[in-house]
Amino acid sequence: MSSTSQKHRDFVAEPMGDKTVQCLPGIGDVLGQRLEQKGFDKAYVVLGQFLLLKKDEELFKEWLKDSCSANAKQSRDCCGCLKEWCDAFL
């Protein structure tokens, strides 16, 4: 497995709680604002979308690209983090 960022390690190390969408790896201020404008203001709301898509990585990456113009690396980082978080907490 490829190395993960500190942001990724911090995110998967604890329950999600009320974290903002910008706490997700791959999602910075610009993408976060785009997601917030569409109603995805919290990390758990984005997780909900991931779960609605049945944890399908390709569908989720496509959704992120369509929703906030995330590039391949950004969507891969976010998806990988949510997948790992689900494995640890669900």
Catalogue all structural domains in the chain, each as residue range(s) with its CATH number: 6-89 (1.10.150.40)
What is the radius of gyration, based on Cα positions, of the chain? 12
Indicate yes or no: pTM above 0.85.
Answer: yes
The C-alpha atoms of residue 74 and residue 90 are separated, in whole angstroms, by: 23
Confidence check: pLDDT of 90 > 50: yes
**Residue 1 has what pLDDT?**
44
Q: Is the pLDDT of residue 26 over 60?
A: yes
Task: Give the Cα separation of 84 and 90 in Å (integer).
Answer: 10
pLDDT band at 4 (very low <50, low <70, confident <90, very high): confident
**Whole-number percent of the chain with pLDDT over 90:** 96
pLDDT digits (tens, 9 = 90+) for 53-79: 999 999 999 999 999 999 999 999 999
